[in-house]
C-alpha cells in the first residue's frame, strides 16, 4: 500500500512538473514556444534565436571559461556576476588600489582596465550534424572503433566548415553522445574592466549566505568588449573600439512579480538528469555524504582558528570559500534527493522502462541494461569512495599538497638542462610566497590529524595510499611530519630555491611531506585510475544506450539534453517556495534585509556608509519597486546550474530583469533530479544593479548608454 501511494504521488508530481525542468537548445526552441507563450511569454522563439536576423542570442556571451555574461549597450558594455569578474578585479588590485574592497568605476572609457587573457565568446550559429558525425557508425562496432570513426568524421566536418568561415568551429555531443551539434563562435580577446561595487555589496553575505535564501548580494561586475575598427575580434590595442553588437539587451525597470514568466539564457556547465536510480543513490547517499563529512571537519577546524584571529580569518577566507561551496551544495543534494524521493521516482520510472523493453523489438539491446547498471555502479563504488577520500582527506592536508609542487624538482639530476631548472625554481618561488602568505601551521596540523584518522578508520588498506599503512599512531606521525618536513619553514624553502643544486634533490626526496604526496599520486595513477577508467568508459556507453532507449520509449516527449557548457534557454516562473513545513520563502528581498543583517563586527555583513545613507534617505529614484522599497534579489523556478552565473534572467518581453548568480541549497539536487516545488535559482534584481551604478557610484556615464524601458 505504501508503495502504491508513493507511486501515485510520483505520478502526480511528475504530471505537475510541466515546466521549469529542462535546459533547451536555442535552435530548437520552436518546440517549446507554445508552452512558453501559454506561461506568459509575449515574444517568439525566433526572437530568442535566429540565424536569419538579429535575436537575443547575439547579446549572450560565454564570459571567460566558466560564466555567462550579456551585452547591454550598443558599445559592447557587458554585465556578469561579481564572483565571475573576481579574478580580474583581483589582478588589478594592489595595496594602493584595492578594487576588491573599494570597488572600481571607469567614469570615462580611458579609465577602463585591459584584462589580457580574458575572452568573451558569442555563438553565431548552431547546426545539427548528428548524421554526418555518426556516418558509418553502427551498433555492432566496438566502442573503440566507434570513437575512432566519430573523431575522424568530426575532423573532416570541422575542416570543411572552417574553409567557409572565420568563426571558431567546434562540435559537441548532446544526449550523452546520441546527437551532435556544430557551433560557430566568435571569440573576442580585448575585454576591459569597467566597474564593480565594493565587496561589501558585490559579495555581501559572503560564504555565510552562499547557496542560501534570503539573499542580499549585489553580485555584479561590468566589462566592455572591444574590437578592431571593422568590428572584428582583435588582441588588445589602444586603437581598438567598443564592439557594436548585433543586438543588446533592453532593461526593464518593472521588476519581477510573483507568477511572472521568466527565462534564463546562458551557459549551464554540467547536469546529469538521465542517470539510473543506482547512480543517483550512490551520488546522494554514498559519495556526497563522505565529502560533506570530511570537508565539514576541516571547515570546523578553520572556523575555530578563524574566529580567534583576524589574520587567520583573512588567510583562510578563500580556502574556506572553496571547500565550503561544494560542502553546502552537496548537503543540499543529499537532503533534496531523499526528501523528494529522487531515487524512488527513478526506480518507478525504470519499472516502466523495463516493461517497455519486454515489448520492444529492440529488447535485445535494452533488456539487461538496468541490471548491468546496478552491477557496474557497485563495481565502481569502492574506487569512487577511495577517490573521494584521496581528494578531500588526503590532498587537503596543505603541507602535503604544497610539497607536491616540488615533485619535479626532486627528480632533477646533473643532466637536467639549467634552463629547465631555472624555470621550475622561478615558479616555485612564486608558489612558495603564495603558500606561506596564507599558511597557519596549527590549523594544518589539526587537519592532518583529523583527516588521517578518518582515512585509517574508514578506508581498507588496499584502498588507501601506501604511506598510510606504515602509520602506527596518527599523533606520532603528524608530529614527525611537521617536525621533519622542511615545507613548514619559509626560510628553509626559500634557501632551497635560492641555492638549489641537483645534489639537494636527493634530500628532498626524503622529505616526509613529499613522500606522502608521491604515495598519494602513485596510488591514484597505479591503483585507482586504471580500475576506474574502464568502468567509467563502459558506463558512458551504457548511459548513451539508456538515453536512446528512453527517447524511443517516449517518442512524443520533449527531452532536454544534459548541460554541456553550450548556450541554453531555461524557463519557469518568478516564485518563492516552502523549504520546510511551516517555513515560507517570499520571492524577493529588499534593502531592509541588508540593514537587518548589518553587523560591523562580522566581515560578511559590513554595510557601506554610503549605502546606508541612501537607505536612510530612501533615495532610490526610478529604481524603487512600485511598493516603494528597493528590491535586491529574487527567486524563480528556472532550472540552472554552475556556469549560469551571470546569465540574464528575462521577462515575457525578453527584457532584462536580473542576473542569475546562485541556487537555494535545498534544491541543488536539480543537477540530478529537478523538482519544481523546491528548486529555485537566485538572481540579483537589475534595478538594484542600476541603483548601485547610478546612486551609489555616480557612474551616470554607464547609465546613459543603457537601453532602459521604464
Ligand atoms: N554558489 C555559487 C556558485 O556555485 C556562488 C559561489 C561564489 N560565492 C561565494 N560566496 N563563495 O558558484
Ligand atoms: N554560482 C554558480 C556559478 O558560478 C551558479 C549557481 C549554481 O550552481 O546554480 O555558476
pTM (2 decimals)?
A: 0.93
Active-site residue, from 47, 190, 219, 281: 219
Give per-residue pLDDT as tens, 518-570.
999 999 999 999 999 999 999 999 999 999 999 999 999 999 999 999 999 99
Give per-residue pLDDT as tens, 441-457.
999 999 999 999 999 99
Give per-residue pLDDT as tens, 77-100.
999 999 999 999 988 988 788 899
Residue with grid cell 574556506, as numbered in its chain: 320
Average pLDDT in the 625-637 region?
98
- Nearest alpha-carbon partner for 89 in 110, 70, 64: 64
Cβ-contact 185, 168 below 8 angstroms? yes
Q: Report whether pLDDT(8) > 50.
A: no
Cis geometry, peptide bond prior to residue 214 (ω within 30 degrees of 0)? yes
Cβ-contact 684, 632 below 8 angstroms? yes
64 lines ligand 2 (CB under 6 A): no
Looking at all shown ligands, the one closest to residue 219's CA atom is 1
Backbone φ and ψ of 395, nearest 5°: -80, -5
Q: CA-CA distance, 164 to 412, in Å (whole number)?
A: 49
Q: Report whether pLDDT(15) > 90.
A: no
Q: CA-CA distance, 288 to 380, in Å (whole number)?
A: 15
Active-site residue, from 645, 647, 670, 683: 645
Q: Please give the C-alpha separations between residue 470 and each of 212, 384, 461, in angstroms, as whole numbers.
A: 43, 23, 10
Q: CA-CA distance, 622 to 630, in Å (whole number)?
A: 10
663 lines ligand 1 (CB under 6 A): no
For residue 20, what pLDDT band results from cuts at 50, 70 and 90? confident
Q: What is the pLDDT of residue 6?
A: 47
Ligand 2 pocket: which of 662, 678, 681, 683 to mutate (most atoms within 8 A of CB): 662
Which residues on neighbouring strands pair with residue 574, listed in sequence order?
Answer: 636
58 lines ligand 2 (CB under 6 A): no
Residue with grid cell 558594455, as numbered in its chain: 77
Q: Report whether pLDDT(321) > 60.
A: yes
645 flagged as catalytic: yes
Q: What is the pLDDT of residue 93?
A: 87
Q: Report whether pLDDT(12) > 90.
A: no
CA of 662 to the centre of ligand 2 (A): 5
Q: CA-CA distance, 342 to 348, in Å (whole number)?
A: 10
Q: Which atom of ligand 1 is nearest to the CA of 663?
A: 1
641 lines ligand 2 (CB under 6 A): yes
Q: CA-CA distance, 401 to 403, in Å (whole number)?
A: 5
Residue with grid cell 569512495, as numbered in its chain: 385
Q: What is the pLDDT of residue 3?
A: 46
For residue 19, what pLDDT band results from cuts at 50, 70 and 90? low
pLDDT: which is higher, 417 or 6: 417
663 lines ligand 2 (CB under 6 A): yes
Cβ-contact 181, 566 below 8 angstroms? yes
Buried b (16+ CB within 10 A) or exposed e, 146-176: beebbeebbeebeeebeeeeebebebebbbb
Q: Please give the C-alpha separations between residue 663 and each of 216, 340, 474, 630, 651, in angstroms, as whole numbers.
A: 13, 17, 40, 21, 19
For residue 13, what pLDDT band results from cuts at 50, 70 and 90? very low
Give per-residue pLDDT as tens, 203-240.
999 988 999 999 999 999 999 999 999 999 999 999 99
Ligand 1 pocket: which of 208, 210, 684 to mutate (most atoms within 8 A of CB): 210
Please report which helix (H) or strand (E) contains residue 241, including its range.
strand 241-242
Active-site residue, from 55, 73, 82, 83: 83
Residue-averaged pLDDT of the chain: 95
639 lines ligand 2 (CB under 6 A): no
CA of 71 to the centre of ligand 1 (A): 22
Q: What percent of the chain has pLDDT over 70?
A: 97
631 flagged as catalytic: no
Q: What percent of the chain has pLDDT over 90?
A: 91
Neighbouring residues of 443: CB distance < 8 A, sequence distance ≥ 6: 301, 302, 305, 312, 316
Q: CA-CA distance, 171 to 524, in Å (whole number)?
A: 31
Minimum CA distance residue for ligand 2 atom 2: 642
Ligand 1 pocket: which of 83, 299, 633 to mutate (most atoms within 8 A of CB): 83
Give per-residue pLDDT as tens, 116-136.
999 999 999 999 999 999 999
Q: Which atom of ligand 1 is nearest to the CA of 207?
A: 10
Secondary structure of 443-487 as H, E, C letters: HHHHHHHHHHHHHHHHCCHHHCCHHHHCCCCHHHHHHHHHHHCHH
Average pLDDT in the 402-410 region?
97
Q: What is the pLDDT of residue 10?
A: 46
Amino acid at each position: 500500500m505504501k508503495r502504491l501511494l508513493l507511486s501515485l504521488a510520483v505520478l502526480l508530481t511528475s504530471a505537475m512538473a510541466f515546466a521549469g525542468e529542462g535546459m533547451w537548445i536555442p535552435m530548437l526552441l520552436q518546440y517549446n514556444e507554445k508552452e512558453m507563450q501559454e506561461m506568459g511569454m509575449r515574444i517568439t522563439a525566433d526572437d530568442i534565436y535566429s540565424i536569419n536576423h538579429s535575436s537575443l542570442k547575439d547579446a549572450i556571451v560565454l564570459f571567460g571559461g566558466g560564466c555567462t555574461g550579456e551585452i547591454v549597450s550598443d558599445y559592447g558594455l557587458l554585465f556578469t556576476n561579481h564572483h565571475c569578474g573576481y579574478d580580474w578585479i583581483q589582478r588589478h588590485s594592489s595595496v594602493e588600489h584595492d578594487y576588491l574592497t573599494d570597488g572600481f568605476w571607469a567614469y570615462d572609457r580611458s579609465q577602463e582596465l585591459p584584462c589580457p587573457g580574458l575572452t568573451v565568446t558569442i555563438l553565431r550559429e548552431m547546426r545539427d550534424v548528428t548524421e554526418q558525425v555518426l556516418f558509418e557508425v553502427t551498433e555492432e562496432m566496438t566502442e573503440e572503433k566507434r570513437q575512432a570513426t566519430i573523431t575522424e568524421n568530426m575532423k573532416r566536418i570541422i575542416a570543411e566548415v572552417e574553409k567557409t568561415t572565420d568563426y571558431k568551429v567546434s562540435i559537441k555531443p548532446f544526449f550523452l553522445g546520441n546527437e551532435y551539434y556544430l557551433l560557430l563562435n566568435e571569440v573576442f580577446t580585448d575585454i576591459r574592466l569597467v566597474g564593480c561595487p565594493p565587496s561589501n555589496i558585490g559579495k555581501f553575505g559572503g560564504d555565510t549566505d552562499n547557496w542560501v535564501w534570503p539573499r542580499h548580494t549585489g553580485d555584479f561586475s561590468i566589462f566592455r568588449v572591444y574590437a578592431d575598427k571593422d568590428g572584428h575580434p582583435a588582441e588588445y590595442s589602444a586603437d581598438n573600439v567598443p564592439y557594436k553588437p548585433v543586438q543588446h539587451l533592453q532593461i526593464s525597470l518593472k521588476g519581477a512579480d510573483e507568477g511572472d514568466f521568466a527565462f534564463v539564457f546562458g551557459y549551464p556547465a554540467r547536469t546529469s538528469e538521465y542517470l539510473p536510480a543506482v547512480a543517483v543513490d550512490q551520488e546522494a547517499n554514498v559519495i556526497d555524504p563522505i565529502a560533506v563529512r570530511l570537508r565539514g571537519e576541516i571547515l570546523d577546524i578553520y572556523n575555530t582558528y578563524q574566529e580567534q584571529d583576524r589574520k587567520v580569518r583573512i588567510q583562510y577566507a578563500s580556502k574556506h570559500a572553496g571547500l565550503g561551496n561544494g560542502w553546502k551544495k552537496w548537503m543540499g543534494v543529499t537532503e533534496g534527493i531523499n526528501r523528494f524521493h529522487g531515487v524512488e521516482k527513478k526506480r518507478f520510472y525504470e519499472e516502466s522502462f523495463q516493461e517497455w523493453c519486454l515489448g520492444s523489438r529492440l529488447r535485445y539491446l535494452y533488456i539487461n541494461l538496468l541490471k548491468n547498471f546496478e552491477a557496474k555502479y557497485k563495481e565502481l563504488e569502492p574506487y569512487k569512495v577511495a577517490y573521494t577520500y584521496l581528494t578531500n582527506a588526503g590532498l587537503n592536508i596543505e603541507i602535503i599538497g604544497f610539497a607536491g609542487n616540488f615533485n619535479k624538482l626532486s627528480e632533477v639530476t646533473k643532466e637536467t638542462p639549467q634552463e629547465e631548472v631555472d624555470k621550475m625554481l622561478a615558479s616555485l618561488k612564486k608558489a612558495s610566497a603564495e603558500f606561506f602568505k596564507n599558511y597557519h601551521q596549527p590549523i594544518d596540523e589539526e587537519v592532518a590529524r583529523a583527516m588521517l584518522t578518518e582515512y585509517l578508520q574508514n578506508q581498507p588498506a588496499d584502498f588507501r595510499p601506501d604511506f598510510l599503512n606504515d602509520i602506527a599512531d596518527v599523533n606520532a606521525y603528524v608530529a614527525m611530519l611537521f617536525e621533519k618536513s622542511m615545507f613548514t619553514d619559509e626560510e628553509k624553502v626559500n634557501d632551497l630555491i635560492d641555492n638549489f643544486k641537483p645534489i639537494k634533490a636527493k634530500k628532498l626526496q626524503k622529505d616526509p611531506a613529499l613522500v606522502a604526496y608521491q604515495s598519494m599520486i602513485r596510488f591514484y595513477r597505479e591503483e585507482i585510475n586504471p580500475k576506474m577508467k574502464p568502468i567509467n568508459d563502459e558506463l558512458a556507453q551504457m548511459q548513451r544506450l539508456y538515453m536512446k532507449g528512453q527517447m524511443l520509449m517516449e517518442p512524443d516527449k520533449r527531452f532536454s539534453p544534459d548541460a554541456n557548457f553550450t548556450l541554453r534557454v531555461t524557463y519557469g516562473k518568478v516564485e518563492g517556495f516552502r523549504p520546510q513545513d511551516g517555513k515560507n520563502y517570499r520571492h524577493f528581498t529588499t534593502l531592509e534585509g541588508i540593514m537587518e543583517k548589518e553587523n560591523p563586527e562580522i566581515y560578511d555583513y559590513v554595510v557601506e556608509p554610503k549605502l546606508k545613507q541612501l537607505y536612510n534617505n530612501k533615495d532610490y529614484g526610478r529604481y524603487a519597486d512600485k511598493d516603494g522599497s528597493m528590491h535586491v534579489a529574487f527567486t524563480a523556478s528556472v532550472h540552472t546550474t554552475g556556469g549560469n552565473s551571470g546569465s540574464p534572467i528575462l521577462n515575457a518581453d525578453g527584457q532584462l530583469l536580473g542576473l542569475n548568480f546562485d541556487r537555494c541549497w535545498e534544491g541543488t539536487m536539480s543537477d540530478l533530479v529537478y523538482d519544481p516545488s523546491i528548486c529555485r535559482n537566485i538572481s540579483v534584481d537589475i534595478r538594484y544593479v542600476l541603483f548601485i551604478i547610478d546612486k551609489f557610484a555616480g557612474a551616470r556615464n554607464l547609465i546613459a548608454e543603457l537601453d532602459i524601458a521604464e
